[in-house]
Amino acid sequence: MAPSRAGAGAVLPVVVALLLGVAATTGGARKMASHGEGANLKASPGAPAAGGSADQFRGKARLPSFAAPRRYELFLRPDLVACTFSGSVAISVAVSAPTRFLVLNALDLSVNRTSIRFQALEPTEVVFFKDDGVLVLGFAKQLPLGEGLLKMDFNGILNDQMRGFYRSKYQYKGKERNMAVTQFESVDARRCFPCWDEPAFKAKFKLTLEVPSELVALSNMPVGNATFAGPIKTVRYLESPPMSTYLVAIVVGLFEYVEGMTTKGTRVRVYTQIGKSNQGKFALDVGVKSLNLYKDYFDTPFPLPKLDMVAIPDFAAGAMENYGLVTYREVALLFDDKSSSASSRQSVAITVAHELAHQWFGNLVTMEWWTHLWLNEGFATWVSHLAVDSFFPQWNIWTQFLDSTTTALRLDSLEASHPIEVEIHHASEVDQIFDAISYDKGASVIRMLQSYLGAERFQKAMASYMKKYAFSNAKTEDLWAVLEKETGEPVKDLMTTWTKQKGYPVINAKIKGDDIEIEQAQFLLDGSSGSGMWIVPITSGCGAYDTQKKFLLKLKRDKMVIGSQCGDRKKGGNFWTKLNINGTGFYRVKYDDELAAALQNALETKKLSLMDKIGTVDDLYALSIARQQTFASLLRLLYGYRGEADYSVLSHINTVTTSIAKVSADATPALAGDIKQLLIKILLSPAEKLGWDPKKGESHLDVMLRPLLLTALVQLGHGKTINEGVRRFNIFTRDRGTSLLPPDTRKAAYLAVMQNVSSSNRSGYDALRKIYKESAEGEERLQVLGILSSCRDKGIVLESLNLIFTNEVRNQDAYILLRGIQPEAREISWNWLKENWERISRTFSGSLAANFVKNIVPLFTSNEKAAEISKFFATRTKPGFERTLKQSLETVRISARWAEGIRSEPGLSQTVRELLAKP
């Protein structure tokens, strides 16, 4: 899945034989599995399941394993007008140990009690634990061992929560219509049909749908046959190979498509709303190429006869890798040469490559439990960059990959981080781990391992892993075992230190004679010391990149002999050394004064690679936040990048400058204006070279760099850039076809307009709202949405935030409105959040609600505000955003500590003045 992305009821005994609806309970508190039960808890196949009461299955981490599904025959009849559905399921269940119970998952379904049969047996009790999403069927006597058929009928609501079986709205011929869509990852298949809703319970699926005849009805497998009865058709799909419930998919609506074929004859289609199929051609091309590449990389063919990719108007995540039927947000799949930006082209390519990587890593071989989610997401993130680099080498995508690494490094330096392999004690906890640790740290440690083992050995081992576990499940340890066998390297010992504990080390490097002494310590942004220890693949370069060294740091301290190959230290000039070459390792480096000065000199004399330019500034930025290096030293290093022209490097510089501008406004208000001028000075030269207008034949990266720099200058208050943006916007409002404001630079112009907006001068704001309402392009609408709250005027900010509760903004896009909030508007935004929290928590589920916390809370930089926010949420937390809240509050406290350090730093103003005075 591509990211973007309720306690136990009292037991409900069903006494009346004809009662419908095992779907509502009240009261009671969820009984969590104790910490000691662990993430991989499974009930033993024997007692007490043979007897006892249904209550023994309440509040467990996992379903018991004494019965498991082998095959589902599932029939569904969605009503797209009433927004309901009815269905029936017949599950072949293998009973492997004495029991009188069947325990499975169901949630928000009404199950017809009289329809339930296991073979010829009727249940004597039907108990539903709502907060666990568990349905327990008790029978009068022990069930026969072996395979039997469990049947039941049910009905439910096509909800508007973008999970389970839900409705999405779209326009057709001027009228609003509903489509039916599934989103089952992580634990929402149970909202569509009763099932064993855990990854390890793989089974075959044979689906039948009854839908209006004129609609397209898609599922994981191709259509076997369809029969028509007037306005209704019954569509029967071929049986699937074994797969997990979270990968089952259904889409019903009006679509058109473009089609392609892989070299091995797999049919690939991209489905879009009527009239948009042309925008699916780029994704189709990337999709076909991805399937061809992964077939070779994994030495395993794509196992299904077709692959469909569908653009869905309402979609909570970025995309979802359902087997053979991948679903996407429209902006994550559709691309138009005339109206889409270069960054959109790149985003679509990476998202498609990510989801199709899952067809092998996730779908063919599936994690055994959510603890191992990173196997899916980390690998798909890493290998999608491998694929896109193959298709578009000019994009320099591996340098851009460091975005993922630095994002993960920032999150993983919080005390409220979590290990890559995280214990899951309840289904309600799963959604929280779809984060930068599972995706970006996961991908980064895979890159680190591949770099250590070598690309060829790594690929060969991955192909062996894929073949060994095809159509089954695997744990992290299974991957390490295959890699060890294939390479002979101590992979398990090495990688366990990275996956089973949170955090990472900072390597302290000090020069002593002809040696560099290195020492590892856990790095935490709050400046505290952690107790973690890692086996660290150290790489180093001395004076040039052709003298690299590699070794494993297994101890807390060690040393490297450098001799004279790093250049003559006494003469200066060429002497420098860089650890963690090209950022392949997931760690930071802190150099002593001599090494740091030599490295800055190497930077300014253009000796460092692009990746090392990124790593150098990101490390010092993090060390400054942790108050292990001075703020002044960070500014001096940044000044060394003033002649930089590379997109990836300047993207990271922009991240740092944005953070510096924010914290300096709170830490040193009197100096904040000068600091902004210094940051403008660093970014202005490359921005002026690129200008506002695209140039014939310029690179993809320069096309992406232009809006990055223009937007940064607007945010820093650069008057000339703001005025030019406003000028171009005014022309654009009169002539939408003008060449003065192509898609790539519109965001900068929109942001420029918002700098001058107020309640008494709202013409620019109203013009932007008009563009949002009238535009048919998803990317354009999201760009406008993302800047409507980028205003200092409290009235305008409130008006923008309240759009979230109107029909103008789809629930999936609400968080985009929050992204533009400026520090000047944080107080009004926090008050708005408090006043509307009950409504927000009712309307938005799980990760969608977490986005409100994530985008507003970290705007603050005081311990007092952290305490106030913590107090407000003390009685309002839910499992879906508890971890996000902790991380956001920790970020506030870290920012407060950083600001305090900056305030008390001697000589800072002198450093700023000196840098401003430099040519």
Residue-wise pLDDT tens digits, 671-712: 999 999 999 999 999 999 999 999 999 999 999 999 999 999
The span from the CA of 846 to the CA of 881, in Å, is 6
What Cα–Cα distance (Å) separates residue 104 from each residue in 99, 107, 150, 193? 14, 10, 11, 11
Q: Is the pLDDT of residue 8 over 50?
A: no
The span from the CA of 277 to the CA of 256, in Å, is 6
- Reduced to 3 states, what is the DSSP secondary structure of residue 701? helix
Write down the pLDDT at residue 165.
98
Helix, strand, coil percentages, rounded to 5, for the chain:
45, 20, 35
Write down the pLDDT at residue 569.
59
Instruction: Give φ, ψ of 426 to 5 degrees.
Output: -160, 150
User: 676, 659 in Cβ contact below 8 A?
Assistant: no
**Which percentage of the chain shows pLDDT scores above 70?**
94
User: 87, 191 in Cβ contact below 8 A?
Assistant: no
Write down the pLDDT at residue 545.
87
- Reduced to 3 states, what is the DSSP secondary structure of residue 62? coil
Measured on CA atoms in the order 297, 298, 301, 302, is the torsion positive or negative?
A: negative
- Reduced to 3 states, what is the DSSP secondary structure of residue 243? strand
Q: Is the pLDDT of residue 78 over 50?
A: yes
Helices 476-487 and 455-468, interaxial angle, to 10°? 130
Average pLDDT over every residue of 764-793:
94
Average pLDDT over every residue of 16-22:
31
Residue 609: closest CA among 665, 703, 541: 541
Residue 251: closest CA among 306, 291, 311: 311
User: 495, 480 in Cβ contact below 8 A?
Assistant: yes
Residue-wise pLDDT tens digits, 207-220: 999 999 999 999 99
Mean pLDDT of the chain: 92
Tokens of 465: 């892993």
User: 800, 817 in Cβ contact below 8 A?
Assistant: yes
Residue-wise pLDDT tens digits, 781-806: 999 999 999 999 999 999 999 999 99
CATH number of 66-252: 2.60.40.1730
User: 798, 789 in Cβ contact below 8 A?
Assistant: no
Average pLDDT over every residue of 133-146:
97
Write down the pLDDT at residue 425.
85
Average pLDDT over every residue of 43-71:
80
Q: Is the pLDDT of residue 568 over 80?
A: no
User: 419, 358 in Cβ contact below 8 A?
Assistant: no
Average pLDDT over every residue of 26-49:
33
Between 11-20, 374-383, 437-446, 742-751, the lowest mean confidence (pLDDT) is in: 11-20
- C-alpha angle 400/404/408, rounded to 5°? 150
The span from the CA of 725 to the CA of 734, in Å, is 15
Residue-wise pLDDT tens digits, 222-279: 999 999 999 999 999 999 999 999 999 999 999 999 999 999 999 999 999 999 999 9
Tokens of 30: 């969820």
Sort strands 67-79 and 204-212 into parallel, antiparallel or unpaired: parallel
**Which percentage of the chain shows pLDDT scores above 90?**
86
User: 759, 795 in Cβ contact below 8 A?
Assistant: yes
Domain ranges of the chain: 66-252, 253-363, 364-498
Q: Is the pLDDT of residue 48 over 80?
A: no
Measured on CA atoms in the order 725, 730, 733, 738, is the torsion positive or negative?
A: negative
573: confidence class by pLDDT, cuts 50, 70, 90:
low
E strands present in 401-535: 472-474, 505-512, 515-522
First-last CA distance in the chain:
48
Sort strands 117-118 and 164-172 into parallel, antiparallel or unpaired: unpaired
Write down the pLDDT at residue 546.
85
Give 225: exposed, middle or buried? Use CB within 10 Å, 0-12, 13-18, 19+.
exposed
Residue-wise pLDDT tens digits, 172-184: 999 999 999 999 9
Q: Is the pLDDT of residue 156 over 60?
A: yes
Whether residue 358 is annotated as binding a ligand: the answer is yes
34: confidence class by pLDDT, cuts 50, 70, 90:
very low
Q: Which helix (H) or strand (E) is 830 found in, with range?
A: helix 826-843
Q: Is the pLDDT of residue 20 over 50?
A: no
Write down the pLDDT at residue 566.
60
Q: Is the pLDDT of residue 30 over 80?
A: no
Sort strands 223-229 and 515-522 into parallel, antiparallel or unpaired: unpaired
Q: Which residues are catalytic?
A: 355
66-252 and 253-363 share one CATH topology?
Answer: no
Q: Is the pLDDT of residue 107 over 90?
A: yes
Write down the pLDDT at residue 567.
57
Q: Is the pLDDT of residue 326 over 60?
A: yes
570: confidence class by pLDDT, cuts 50, 70, 90:
low
Q: Is the peptide bond between 301 and the residue preceding it cis, with omega within 30 degrees of 0?
A: no
Sort strands 319-320 and 256-261 into parallel, antiparallel or unpaired: unpaired
The span from the CA of 47 to the CA of 63, in Å, is 14
Write down the pLDDT at residue 122.
97
Measured on CA atoms in the order 840, 842, 843, 847, is the torsion positive or negative?
A: positive
571: confidence class by pLDDT, cuts 50, 70, 90:
low
Average pLDDT over every residue of 770-780:
91
What Cα–Cα distance (Å) separates residue 186 from each residue in 248, 322, 615, 679? 11, 11, 34, 43
Gyration radius (Cα) of the chain, Å: 28
Instruction: Give φ, ψ of 689 to 5 degrees.
Output: -65, -40
Tokens of 788: 């409507």
User: 585, 450 in Cβ contact below 8 A?
Assistant: no
Instruction: Specify whether domain 364-498 bears CATH 1.10.390.10.
Output: yes
The span from the CA of 525 to the CA of 544, in Å, is 31
User: 646, 701 in Cβ contact below 8 A?
Assistant: yes
Fold classification of 253-363 is Neutral Protease; domain 2 (1.10.390)
Write down the pLDDT at residue 106.
98
The span from the CA of 723 to the CA of 846, in Å, is 41
543: confidence class by pLDDT, cuts 50, 70, 90:
confident
Tokens of 392: 């578009």
Contacts of 744 by beta carbon, 8 Å cutoff, 6+ apart: 341, 342, 343, 694, 703, 704, 706, 707
Greatest alpha-carbon span in the chain: 93
What Cα–Cα distance (Å) separates residue 854 from each residue in 719, 833, 872, 881, 891? 31, 12, 15, 9, 10
The span from the CA of 406 to the CA of 259, in Å, is 38
Question: 56-66 burial, b for 16+ CB within 10 Å, e for fewer?
Answer: bbbbbbbbbbb
Write down the pLDDT at residue 164.
97
Average pLDDT over every residue of 905-909:
95
Residue 107: closest CA among 57, 154, 72, 151: 154
Query: Whole-structure pTM over 0.75, yes or no?
Result: yes
The span from the CA of 704 to the CA of 700, in Å, is 6
Q: Is the pLDDT of residue 192 over 80?
A: yes
DSSP summary character for residue 35: G
User: 451, 288 in Cβ contact below 8 A?
Assistant: no
Instruction: List, edge to edge, every strand of the sheet that includes 250-253.
Output: 164-172, 175-183, 250-253, 216-219
Residue-wise pLDDT tens digits, 274-312: 999 999 999 999 999 999 999 999 999 999 999 999 999
Average pLDDT over every residue of 511-527:
94
Q: Is the pLDDT of residue 27 over 70?
A: no
Residue 574: closest CA among 587, 564, 582, 561: 564
Q: List alpha helices for 401-440, DSSP H.
A: 402-412
User: 201, 245 in Cβ contact below 8 A?
Assistant: yes
Write down the pLDDT at residue 50.
63
Tokens of 166: 């839900």
What Cα–Cα distance (Å) separates residue 274 from each residue in 180, 441, 707? 16, 39, 31
